[in-house]
Amino acid sequence: MFFQSAVRTITTAALLFAAPAIQAQPLPSAADVIAKHVAAIGGRDAIMQITSMKQVGAMEITAAGMTADLEMYVMAPNKQSMKMSLAGLGEILSGTDGTVAWSVNPMQGARLLEGKELAQAKEQADFVASMLYAPDRFSSMTNEGVVDFAGEKAYKIKMVRKDTGNESWNYFSLASGLQIGAEATLDSEMGKMSTSSVIADYKTFGPIKIATRTEMTTGPQKMILTVKSAEFNTVTNDAVAVPAAVQPLIKK
């Protein structure tokens, strides 16, 4: 009995003395957290060999009970396009060629993005920024500490884009180093919209790992994006060109 009591006392004391040391451990810098993520998905050298990427997948809008086929194209340094095919409604297109950005849907027709929407589309198409979180694209990156996110311990990294001042919070798993989530406020034709994403199910395609499941929540709407396949360095300029429906809207 005395022995057990002594063990409990010594263990408690050890934990008390150890606690300040654990709490005092400095957080890794945001740059170190991001570097671990980049290494986990394949490394900077592998990423920099990619000139384009095509992803094929699906989008499920849970509340509406709708599903859509998706094709997404990215071409370095700053071009991207997306085609979403909805049964019974037709195709929804969006993208940017690095100069103009567009949206085309059966309900509203073709539209050129302007102002903050245009700037945001260009930011999202920045290949180096989106894959590597290149520091020169951001005015600041801050590690705000360890939080619980999607059932994991994660570093919460605040990022502020240099060109637009847009803020986002990105979550990186302590265990794997991989990004597991993001939160941001985006500009849209309906105004500002807060979004939260849970990023999961990384799989290897070609030289890198890609998250194959993203759950996005925007207001009351929840969308689930799944990636079924990905290929690299095969995208042609036609895939990221301004759609025919948008071209008449461009001022000559």
Q: Across the strands, what pairs with 159?
A: 141, 168
User: Which pair of tokens denotes residue 5?
Assistant: 């009591």
Residue 86 has pLDDT above 90, yes or no: no
- Mean per-residue pLDDT for 224-235? 97
Which DSSP string do the residues of 129-175 spell out, in sequence order? HHHH--GGGEEEEEEEEEEEETTEEEEEEEEEETTT--EEEEEEETT
pLDDT of residue 6: 39
Residue 12 has pLDDT above 70, yes or no: no
* pLDDT tens sequence across 117-163: 999 899 999 998 899 999 999 999 999 999 999 999 999 999 999 98
CA distance 116 to 78: 17
Q: Across the strands, what pairs with 84?
A: 70, 92
Q: Residue 112 is which amino acid?
A: L
pLDDT of residue 182: 97
Q: Which position has the token pair 């986002």?
A: 168
The answer to whether 160 touches 166, Cβ cutoff 8 Å, is yes
Q: Counting Cβ atoms within 10 Å, is residue 127 exposed (0-12), middle (13-18) or buried (19+)? A: buried
Query: Which stretches does DSSP call E strand in the chain?
Result: 52-61, 66-75, 79-86, 90-96, 101-105, 109-112, 138-149, 152-161, 167-173, 179-188, 191-205, 208-218, 221-232
Q: Counting Cβ atoms within 10 Å, is residue 134 exposed (0-12), middle (13-18) or buried (19+)? A: middle
How confident is the prediction for the chain on average, in pLDDT? 88
* pLDDT tens sequence across 172-223: 999 999 999 999 987 666 667 789 999 999 999 999 999 999 999 988 889 9
pLDDT of residue 21: 45
pLDDT of residue 10: 37
* pLDDT tens sequence across 14-28: 444 444 444 457 899
User: Which pair of tokens denotes residue 47?
Assistant: 């990423």
- Verify cis geometry, omega within 30 degrees of 0, for the bond prior to 77: yes
Share of the chain above pLDDT 70, in %: 88
SS3 label, residue 97: coil
CA distance 85 to 89: 8
Q: Which residues of 194-205 are buried (b: 16+ CB within 10 A; e: fewer)?
A: ebbbbbeebeeb
pLDDT of residue 188: 67
Question: For the chain, what is the radius of gyration of the CA atoms?
Answer: 22
Q: Specify the pTM.
A: 0.86
The answer to whether 100 touches 80, Cβ cutoff 8 Å, is no
